[in-house]
Structure 1
Amino acid sequence: MKLYLSIILLVFLMPYSCSTEVFAPNLLVTGENGYNFVQSQKEWKTLKKRHQDSYRYTVLELSFSGFGSETTVTVIDGKVVSREYEAFQMSEDDGSKEVLNSYFEEGEDIGSHSEGWPAYDMDKMYTECGSDYLMVDPETHTLYFDTTEEGVMTLCGNVPDLCGDDCFEGFSMSEFEWMK
């Protein structure tokens, strides 16, 4: 009976394990700075040691309607120490930003607001990118990946083909800086 159940479980799980293998070439999509996901992740591990795992990044989310937000996450010695959020509306007339909502979190308050990008460290960002945003069918999605000049990932995502507006799944960093 155990053998029978094991075979059934294996049959049900096999398509899921194979599907990520099918999309593994997606991890080799190369950005403008010449790095693919695999190279960038390797470079990240080297750079984070050199900079004592201390950095700040800002994720920018922008809609075609002019609504947007920026979430800045600061990591010191491998620990998220703050998250700052600002939602805004861009003026169609002059391009100015009207701030609609904002907050700053630190310490135990980190994650207490639902708006904004989660308070992820870069290791979690690489995990999300490699397991979620790039693991889609490239026949039905356009893939996006880019890095800084030194190889740190700043863009990861996809857009389903034939999608109208605001279909990007993933993240785009407007800023990345080392803190040490």
Structure 2
Amino acid sequence: MRIKSIIISLLIPFLFLSCEKSDLKYESQFKDSYDVFQKFKASSNNSYFYIVTGISFFGYSWETKLTVESGKVVKREFYFTAFESVQLPKNGWTSKELDEILKKKGKEFEEQLKKDGITLLEFLRWTEDENNLGKLSAKVGYASQIRTLDEIYRLAETDWIIKRENAKVYFETKNNGMISTAGYVEGNCQDGCFNGVNIKSIQAIR
């Protein structure tokens, strides 16, 4: 009887843990998506690029393309797709759009660009490689942080899609089963309140 009691006492903590509810809002979907990502990572030799999108109600929208080779971010490309409601043309910014933006933003914005040592075109679109990763965003902002998809999934699991009071949590897997949206919005906030990531595309580097 004593041995039986000892065994039961040892099993109780494990039984308790197994009955605990997950902190994840979308636990099953997350696990399925993570499995898909692991297969993608193996088939691509952990070399791929993904595009993160962002938007503001103030007439701004942008994309950040991050290139990963053998599990390491080696390149970050940023570009506005709209700035002050001026849309990026299919063939790139022209003097017409640049003049329109400067007219809307005013002299103070133009002077700040000069102080920062960059042109408007360099503000609207820029690229970092391994030699200067993380150095340009201090001047132009908005770009997605330098992260691999492993880090994206880790943040989703530990922060972005955990259950929260007074917050709406989002999780979607429209990139062939991999994360397309993961994050949350607290309260009734309307602009710039999304904590997480929106991924437009994930593709292996062939």
Q: Does 1:40 align with 2:33?
A: yes
What does residue 126 of structure 1 align with? 153
Give the drift of 1:88: 4.8
Q: Does 1:26 align with 2:25?
A: yes
Q: For 1:149 and 1:67, how far apart are their aligned partners in 2? A: 24
Q: Please tell me whether the aligned partners of residues 27 and 130 of structure 1 are also in contact (alpha carbons under 8 angstroms).
A: no
Q: Does 1:105 align with 2:146?
A: no
- Determine which of 168, 172, 175 is the counterpart of 2:194: 168
Distance change in 2, residues 1:22/1:106 (3 Å): same
Q: Kindly, what percent of the aligned residue pairs are identical?
A: 26
Structure 1, residues 47-96: CA drift from partner, whole Å, max 9, x if none? Answer: 2101111111111110112112211101122221210011353565xx72
Q: Please, which runs of 5 or more residues in structure 2 have no aligned partner?
A: 1-19, 89-96, 98-120
- TM-score normalised to structure 1 length: 0.73
What does residue 178 of structure 1 align with? 204
Give the drift of 1:176: 1.7
Give the drift of 1:44: 0.9
Q: For 1:65 and 1:23, how far apart are their aligned partners in 2? A: 37
Computing the radius of gyration over CA atoms, which structure comes out larger, 1 or 2? 2
Q: How does 1:36-75 map to 2 (within 5 A)?
A: 36-75=29-68
Shift >4 Å, 4+ stretches: none
Secondary structure, in 3 states, of the residue corresponding to 1:42?
Answer: helix
Q: Does 1:76 align with 2:69?
A: yes
Number of positions where the alignment pairs a residue of Structure 1 with one of Structure 2: 152
Name the one with the larger helix percent: 2
Secondary structure, in 3 states, of the residue corresponding to 1:124?
Answer: helix
Q: Please tell me whether the aligned partners of residues 78 and 125 of structure 2 are also in contact (alpha carbons under 8 angstroms).
A: yes
Q: Please, which runs of 5 or more residues in structure 1 have no aligned partner?
A: 1-20, 30-35
- Determine which of 58, 79, 85 is the counterpart of 2:78: 85
Q: For 2:22 and 2:184, how far apart are their aligned partners in 1? A: 13
